[in-house]
Chain A
Amino acid sequence: MAISGTMAPPPPTALSRLVSHLITALLTLVIMIAGIVISVAAAVAAFAAISLVLPDIKLLTATLVMILGVAACFGYFWGSNRLLDTLYPARGENVGANLTKANAIRPWLFLGPAIVILGLYLVYPVVNSVVLSFHGPNGENWVGLANYRWLAGDAAFRESMRNNILWLFVVPAAATFFGLISAALTDRISWGNVAKSLIFMPMAISFIGASVIWKFIYDYRAAGSEQIGLLNAIVTSFGFEPQAWITVPFWNNFFLMVVLIWIQTGFAMVILSAALRGIPEETIEAAIIDGASPFQIFYKIKVPQIWGTIAVVWTTITILVLKVFDIVLAMTNGQWGSQVLANYMFDWMFRGLDFGRASTIALVIMAMVIPIMIWNIREARKDIK
């Protein structure tokens, strides 16, 4: 290393900096890809080997895949980290330079699998959907704006939009309202935690399970025979005619919304209850001293202090509503004027077999999410700063 001592380090030009960045990036990619390929290959090989002796039971296979999946992840992180340390050892003469290089590469190795999977499963599909929306049914021939023109003139699409907008107004509002009420009430009683658990429970139930539960409540028998659906039993006990609730155009939308409100109220309650408890005691004590009634304290002192959280709850439920699919599919499948965008998209994907049109409908859902996405990102950035 006699020569290096005589050579002055070259002044970093823009070009040499770019080249060194490129080399670093390339090296990062090589280590990352090598790490992923080797660990996945090792896991697959291990799977094949163990499968030979393992009895062919599904749950055993699933458990094996879980263990090997975790092992492969860990193997990747350990291996790629080790590889980096071998290439740029933290000893010897170039310790400083080596550490700088290694520290520039290491974060990307840690992020590697996440970025690859997110890119493939969420970013690429967004781009691909845009491309597909300009193509025909099987995604091969270019049709220009034909899908968008079709959408603009389609009656079922207009119906879906109308219903989605109804859902957007009613469900977040009702779920947040009931959530706020139950949060405020359960905080005041001794068995509040039990009550909270029970109101929160529907959150664990699948949309499709909830649909069965509520379809049973809406069950209809012809007038005169014994009603086994709870709603019709109540209605007939007051002397009214029983109704086939989910087939009544327009109003059936609300009967479907009830299912989602029922599921989401618990979520709103849990978050709003935490926010209510975070309110500074002094503001409430001051109001009590000034003689405010419990209702005034709630609406004029507490609620204004948790607007931020209410907005978070509201937007979270809004996003869920935009994607609502299972409930409509299970209860009416979009008949009797209850179609929504997500189910309509599913229809064109599986029954219409037109990927172009289905992608176009998916993009409409995406477009409706974008304002909330931007708002979320802004809030998150404020938080990080």
Chain B
Amino acid sequence: MSTAVGNRPALSWAVNLAVLLLVAIWTLPTFGILVSSLRDKDQLAVSGWWTALTSSEQNIIARAAPPDEAVEQGGQWIIAGNLFESGSGRVSAFGTSSREPSAYEPGEVVEMRGGGTATVEENGDYRLVYSEKPEGRRGERLFITIREAPRFTTENYENVLFSEGIGQSFINTLTVTIPATVIPILIAAYAAYALSWMQFPGRALLLATIVGLLVVPLQMSLIPLLRLYNDIGIGKSFIGIWIAHTGFGLPLAVYLLRNYISGLPREIIESARVDGASDFEIFRKIVLPLSFPALASFAIFQFLWVWNDLLVATVFLGNNEEQLVLTGRLRELLGSRGGNWEILTASAFVAIVVPIIVFFALQRYLVRGLLAGSVKGG
């Protein structure tokens, strides 16, 4: 393929740049939440994640110590202290009224409206000087603009995992996913073998039905199954959702595995038959081991689909701590913590990190499965 471009450097540059742009658009959104989830929540709330490495500017209102802490020194009353509670940051400007919150440079001595002068140093030290003993109960308000060094923290993760319920939901999601990924495989494999290598009337019709069922919208199944589940008493239970996911995954499983198993070399199976092996033995000893790549493909699909599912879990599981899965929790947080991006980004990252690891580790099988399912003759 490279022959067409190899000798045209300009075009080659354009291709590289275009791909770079595409990759940037497709990865930056995810990268954005990863960066944001690691930022300090106060910084995250006031500046974009792309500025995470630069120091941020923030306007805050600080209060000096109350007047009764004023100390007399050589006929003047002085209130002094530091405006930073945690002792970090750098003052880049200050002001004494809310209309001009950053009117003065640090170190300037300015007149206050109520009499007296004020100074704020760069490191947050302030000094209020009065000619008479100041009165009132509350401290003077000072407006400062601070430059803050970037702060990264894992606090957001600790917070969502242990107090926002993401940790519990993670376990719930795993509980749903493990059986629902594995159980359909064997059921589908036997069916696929029968559809590939056994002769019986109605085989073509059955195959057509399975191809048809591949695209039946889930929405059709929800209400009838919910009613059925409630009638037999397994509504809102893990057993119900395990079987439901098994059922919804089966058409794809049978279809993928049949495509693969029917493509196994005829000679192997015929010769085993001649040697007197029964269908059951042929399946277990020959077909099952040879089909490993197809089984792995399906397992990955089913894993991703079950892990990422929201609809089935919302319908068949409860909304309580014991049953709410990650996707459901994320949806709930979007409603209740809509503006708290430190919580949302960290929660979202916890929810997507496992599928992403599985994806990168087992991409080969995933691609193979996709091709077998979608490209003809696969």
- Where the two chains meet, the residues of A that have a C-beta atom closer than 8 Å to any C-beta of B are 58-59, 61-63, 65-66, 69-70, 73-74, 77-78, 81, 85, 90, 103-104, 106-108, 110-111, 113-115, 117-118, 120-126, 128-129, 132, 139, 178, 181-182, 185-189, 191-192, 195, 197-209, 211-217, 219, 226-230, 233, 262, 265-267, 270-271, 274-275, 284, 288, 294, 297, 308-309, 312-313, 316, 319, 322-323, 325-326, 329-330, 342, 345-346, 349-350, 355, 358-359, 361-363, 365-366, 369, 372-373, 376-377, 379-381, 383-384
Contacts and interface: CB of A to CB of B under 8 A. Distances in A.
B355 interface: yes
B30 interface: yes
Given A202-B30, A204-B304, A312-B376, A211 B334 contact: yes
Contacts of B352: 204-206, 209
A238 to B, nearest CB: 15
Nearest to A381: B208
Contact of A104 (B200, B221, B225): B200
A114 B189 CA distance: 10
A201 B331 contact: no
B280 A81 contact: yes
B46 A228 contact: yes
Contacts of B19: 182, 185-186, 189, 191-192, 195
A66 B48 CA distance: 45
B44 A342 contact: no
Interface string B171-190: 11011101100110111101
Given A66-B182, A185-B22, A198-B23, A217 B32 contact: yes
B344 interface: yes
B1 A70 contact: no
A207 B351 CA distance: 11
Contact of A362 (B198, B220, B238, B308): B220
A33 to B, nearest CB: 16
Given A185-B22, A188-B12, A216-B341, 8 more contacts: A58-B171, A118-B213, A126-B220, A181-B18, A192-B19, A198-B23, A212-B344, A294-B8
Interface stretch (B62-70, B98-106, B136-144, B367-375): B367-375
A206 B309 CA distance: 7
Nearest to A203: B359
B370 A226 contact: no
A359 B223 contact: yes
Q: Is the interface of A mostly helix, strand, loop or mixed?
A: helix
Given A73-B186, A359-B223, A212 B345 contact: yes
Contacts of B16: 189
B223 A349 contact: yes
A207 B30 contact: no
B50 A362 contact: no
A377 B63 CA distance: 74
Contacts of A319: 215, 217
Interface of B: 1-5, 8, 11-12, 15-16, 18-19, 22-23, 26-30, 32-33, 36, 44-50, 171-172, 174-176, 178-179, 182-183, 185-188, 190-191, 193-195, 198-200, 203-204, 206-225, 227, 238-239, 242-244, 246-248, 250-251, 254, 278-280, 283, 304, 307-311, 314-315, 327, 330-331, 334, 341, 344-345, 347-348, 351-352, 355-356, 358-360, 363, 367, 370-371, 374-377
A164 B4 CA distance: 41
A74 B48 contact: no
A121 B247 contact: yes
A213 B32 contact: yes
B310 A322 contact: no
Nearest to A225: B46
Contacts of B47: 226, 228
Contacts of B36: 216
Nearest to A376: B211
Given A195-B23, A201-B30, A365-B219, A66 B334 contact: no
Contacts of A186: 19
Contacts of A363: 220
Given A74-B186, A201-B356, A369 B217 contact: yes
A362 B222 contact: yes
23 contacts: A58-B172, A65-B242, A70-B186, A81-B278, A106-B194, A110-B198, A115-B206, A118-B213, A122-B221, A123-B213, A125-B220, A197-B360, A199-B26, A204-B356, A217-B29, A230-B32, A262-B26, A309-B376, A355-B223, A362-B219, A373-B215, A377-B208, A377-B211
Contacts of A215: 334, 344
B359 A122 contact: no
Q: Report which residue of A63, A115, A212 has the largest number of chain B beta carbons within 10 angstroms of its beta carbon.
A: A212
A110 B193 contact: yes
Contact of A216 (B8, B345, B355): B345
Contact of B26 (A59, A129, A265, A376): A265
A288 B347 CA distance: 52
B42 to A, nearest CB: 12
A125 B217 CA distance: 11
A187 B1 contact: yes
A100 B371 CA distance: 38
A226 B46 CA distance: 6
Q: Which among B28, B29, B218 has the greatest number of chain A C-beta atoms within 10 A?
A: B29
A73 B314 CA distance: 28
A199 B171 contact: no
Nearest to B172: A58
A340 to B, nearest CB: 11
Contact of B227 (A189, A206, A294, A355): A355
A284 B3 CA distance: 10
A132 B327 contact: no
Contacts of A274: 371, 375
Contact of B334 (A212, A227, A342): A212
Contact of A129 (B49, B199, B223, B371): B223
Given A125-B225, A195-B22, A213-B30, A73 B183 contact: yes
A301 to B, nearest CB: 10
